[in-house]
Amino acid sequence: MNTKCPSRDFIYQDWILTESKFNLEQLHSRSTVFTIGNGYLGTRGSLEEGHALGLPATFIHGVYDDVPVVYTELANCPDWLPLIIVVNGDRFRMDQGEVLQYKRQLDVSQGLLSRSLRWRSPSGSVIDIYFERFASLADPHILGQRCQLTPHDSDCTIEIQASINGYAENQGFNHWEGLDQGKTAQGIWLQSRTRGTQIEIGMAAKMTISGAEAALQVSIVPGYPTISAGFLAKSQQTITVEKLVTVYTSREINQPVTAAKEKLAQLSDYTTLLTANKQAWDEVWQKSDIYIEGDPTAAFAVRYNLFQLLIAAPFHDDKVSIPAKTLSGFGYRGHIFWDTEIFILPFFTFTQPNIAKNLLTYRYHTINGARRKASHYGFKGAMYAWESADTGDEVTPRWALPDDYYGEDVRIWCRDREIHNSADIAYAVWQYWQVTGDDEWIRDYGAEIILDSAIFWSSRVEYNAGGDRYEIRGVIGADEYHEFVHNNTFTNRMVQWHLEKALKVYDWLRRTFPQRATELENQLQLTSDLEIHWQDIIKKVCIFYDSKTGLIEQFEGFFQLKDINLQDYEPRQRSMQTILGIEGANQYQVLKQPDVLMLLYLMRPSAEFPYNEKVLATNWDYYAPRTDITYGSSLGPAIHAILASDLGKSTTAYERFMQALMVDLEDKRGNANDGIHGASAGGIWQAVIFGFGGIQLTEQGPIANPHLPPTWTRLKFQLHWRGEWYQFDLARADKGDKEDKEKILTYHSALPVGERSRTNIRGFIFDLDGVLTDTAEYHYQAWQKLADEEGIPFNRKANEALRGVSRRASLMLIIGDRHYSEAQIEEMMERKNRYYVELIEHITSKDLLPGAIALLDELRQAGIKIGIGSGSKNAKTVIERLGIADKVDAIADGYSVQKPKPAPDLFLFAAHQLGLEPQQCVVVEDAAAGIEAAKAGGMWAIGLGPVERVGAADIVLPNLAGVRWADLRFKFQEVANTNS
């Protein structure tokens, strides 16, 4: 299903984003939106041919370099995209000539970005150009580009230049010094090194051209090695140019250039690499997909946001983490915040726990940087940096430079005062442990993080003898509009929570792994006195909470600040801090983002103090109206959506959810050009699962208490909990139900871990008759006419026995024990076929059965190959007249094999034509013989019709009406695990 964005030129499909118009004003924001990646690197959606205002960027995890003022940043790596096209002497550019047709698409199911256009050159040549690119998820060191050129109305002389651009910049700052470059038998290569951190990069590329005679030439321009070719392209002739690139850095291998050249020499063809990439994505989406029915915009946009998290996720590296702007932009210089642990990590913890482990292990590898920060400020233990990079040292800029030439520099106090992230990291470690039960990781890594950062808190708190309480003074809480406060409740309660869990971890370690406990006691100087001190802090830490009303004061003195009514400032397009000024915002009860409400959200899973429904309702009513939810922080809307769902405020919940969901796709805050809002993307997953799905975690596993938005008719997802998969299929109650509430169609269907819990379906093979179209009726009429002519009794009941049976076998059933010569049998088969062909003469797409075209389209969008497996010798004719030939990748018909169904030969032939193994294929049949053939061939089977006929199939359905690939995938997963 498609929906068009009301304010933009975007069309949203289940998996595909389509841009229907090029808008120069959105050049940089759309470069963010069309970012692709593979967990090793991210490449912004800049144009292959370049643009005068463009700023192409590829960021590789961990490739940081020194920079003034902001200490370090992810270095914009050499650009692998340049592909210049010259048509009859005119260089193709979007700002020259005339673009007659345009479409750009991002297929998030396989990370494929494409652009197709018709361009009239300044001298009048018209040519169709198609680009596509991918960063392989199957092998993170492989990148691919394809360009197809088709002259529209006249022959053209075309020149192609494929390059690596070594002069990449970070908005005016070049981090790279060229070391060497050259050519090989395969193509070109480039070797560069960062100026400060001395990280080496090696890139290699090759180009192939098909459809025209072209000789390749290599030019080694310093810092810009290039492969070029010229050729003649005839009108309506398509020339295909393919460029493959390999990349390594010295972070993962000693000789990156050698590795890149060797990898390039070993590469298979573009199509094979793209197929491997698609298969890798299929495996990832099987674990992480969310299916939404009834809201096409949300259905796509949720997948889009998850895609952006997945392409920034370090699948194979535990020394890096996901930056606040992922790997999609220059914002925040590639630094890591609490955004990762609190907002992003839960998505991975519940769907890709190995990635979650990598992200948390990054905090272990950078703990020495946290220790250096604590020591710098005069504290003990580990004080995690507010902004972290490769070493874990604090890299938050001390000053922000003004845009105004005469403005004052702005002091950034977060580096000194926003300290709650040490507890936030401990929270994420604890949650990972509770969800996964990964005792070994906690023993080896997590316990040290929790315990050493707890030691920091014991040295950071201040004891107030007069009040007999512990205070934490001079901090910034989650709400950054107030830059110097005492006893921020979020911070104090998180510290209390952290110390509670530190005691539990320490006790567990001593009981379970005493040797490791002794090691940490010696290393961290853990003593019984320290434990007593932690217990005293837990008991006496200052928290401003009114037990009678449930109202929590955000920090000491917050209620004495000037009150504010945000409606008085509407309409606006700026943050309240911009309107009031930094000092002005400090004086008002206005919040940049949830603070008290954020605390309640984090305490919500286990209903720990101070969370309960009354406290939530009371504090929502007070703090939600005072939160700058539109132009404050992008971290807020998703959290508000979840809490509003808890409170039954469905309209508000959905509004906040959509605000978070479209922050980048519709550039809601006007800053999408800086990069993807990673924390918001993670919050979206939490809003769907914990808000609308109402997932609650119990010792028996996760359970659902759904609060679906009014338009959502179905929500499906799965969660990984302590070694098992739990599938959730949530839908609205039927209209006839007494109350219009959600119902749980499948709840916590536990799936054992193992290979059989993951299906790898890559192709569908459809029978024609009774499946895609009702040609069975035409077959019946043809047989009836033949039988009448021969004086043989025949009726519809007898016709049922012919389902799925070959023409000859059908005839033999009809004639029974009557004697006919072979010549007569051949003549009757030919006569019946002639009658049948006459009957189907006028068949059209209107004769497709309900649900057929929708399922075919969805399967193709999902990258599933489609075959036809029909015993009919007229299958190709029927397919053409039904108008679905362009949707079919292979046809196996009555001419393909000798043995008919129930022999598996026909379906095995179709699978071979699709290039798939039998176990990767699903057969859709309406006949018992077809089901038997599918099972005999080792394939999955869907039976259409009554159980007594097709009951041996893995899945039995009445027909294809309303059938979706997302539904089938879940059902096959259940079948696989039931049989394992």
Residue positions annotated with a catalytic role: 480
3-state helix, strand, coil in the chain (%, to 5): 40, 25, 40
| Type of residue at 510 | R
Residues 151 and 237: beta-carbon distance below 8 Å: yes
In the numeric block, which tokens belong to residue 215? Answer: 């000789």
Using the CB atoms, write b or e for 94-132: b if 16+ within 10 Å. beebeeeebbbbbbbbbbbbbbebbbbbeeebbbbbbbb
How far apart CA 649 and CA 971 sit, in angstroms, is 33
In the numeric block, which tokens belong to residue 499? Answer: 């110390």
How far apart CA 664 and CA 645 sit, in angstroms, is 23
Residues 125 and 88: beta-carbon distance below 8 Å: yes
Concatenating the DSSP letter of every residue in 84-150 gives EEEETTEEP-TTSSEEEEEEEEEETTTTEEEEEEEEE-TTS-EEEEEEEEEE-SSSTTEEEEEEEEE
Residue 511: partners with Cβ closer than 8 Å, 6 or more residues away: none
Concatenating the DSSP letter of every residue in 796-855 gives HHHHHTTTT--HHHHHHHHHTT----HHHHHHHHHHHHHHHHHHGGG--GGGBPTTHHHH
Give the CA-trace dihedral at 712, 716, 721, 725, to 10 degrees: 170
In the numeric block, which tokens belong to residue 760? Answer: 């790898």
Q: Are strands 921-925 and 940-944 parallel, antiparallel or unpaired?
A: parallel
Backbone angles phi, psi at 554, to 5 degrees: -55, -40
How far apart CA 421 and CA 429 sit, in angstroms, is 12
How far apart CA 785 and CA 762 sit, in angstroms, is 41
How far apart CA 282 and CA 15 sit, in angstroms, is 12
Place of tokens 């726990």: 353
**Tally of CB atoms within 10 A around 562:** 9
Place of tokens 């000491």: 556
How far apart CA 684 and CA 233 sit, in angstroms, is 48
Which sign, positive or negative, has the C-alpha torsion 721, 722, 725, 730? negative
**Tally of CB atoms within 10 A around 297:** 21
Length of the chain counted residue by residue: 980
Backbone angles phi, psi at 688, to 5 degrees: -70, -50
How far apart CA 726 and CA 778 sit, in angstroms, is 46
Q: Is 195 exposed, middle or buried (0-12, 13-18, 19+ CB in 10 A)?
A: middle
Residues 3 and 297: beta-carbon distance below 8 Å: yes
Residues 863 and 278: beta-carbon distance below 8 Å: yes
List Cα–Cα distances, 16 to 142, 535, 698, in angstroms. 23, 54, 36
Helix (H) or strand (E) holding 301: helix 296-310
How far apart CA 56 and CA 121 sit, in angstroms, is 24
Residues 659 and 626: beta-carbon distance below 8 Å: no
